[in-house]
Amino acid sequence: MSPAEPRTVSLLISGPILRTDLRGLCDRVCRLLDRSGASVACCDVSELEVDAMTVDALARLQLAARRHGCSVRLARASAELRELIAFMGLEDVLR
């Protein structure tokens, strides 16, 4: 018998993301995970700007989700965003 797939909730994150947005973004996603009972947030990041602030926000979002026993997966990330994530050494954190 194979293990059950984790329950996933999907959402779109659009930007630009400002430093002042970080706490609210993390709080909203964690509330969504709690309410839905999901253990994975699949985040469509196709509309985000490719910059260090975006990568920082996504890393903080992953940390907040992990504190709730959940995780974040990125969907529709551009090649440029994936390259910046790798450049910043976070490819093992942000998948």
CA 69/CA 75 separation, integer angstroms = 20
The angle formed by the CA atoms of residues 38, 85 and 14, to the nearest 5 degrees, is 55
- Would you give the distance in Å from CA 71 to the centre of its chain? 8
- Asked if pLDDT for residue 87 goes beyond 50, the answer is yes
Tokens 């779109």 locate to: 12
Token digits for 60?
């903080």
CA 56/CA 31 separation, integer angstroms = 20
* Per-residue pLDDT reduced to its tens digit, 9-56: 999 999 889 989 989 999 999 999 999 999 999 999 999 999 999 999
Mean pLDDT of 61-72: 93
- pLDDT at position 3, please? 63
Domains and CATH numbers, the chain: 8-87 (3.30.750.24)
- pLDDT at position 95, please? 87
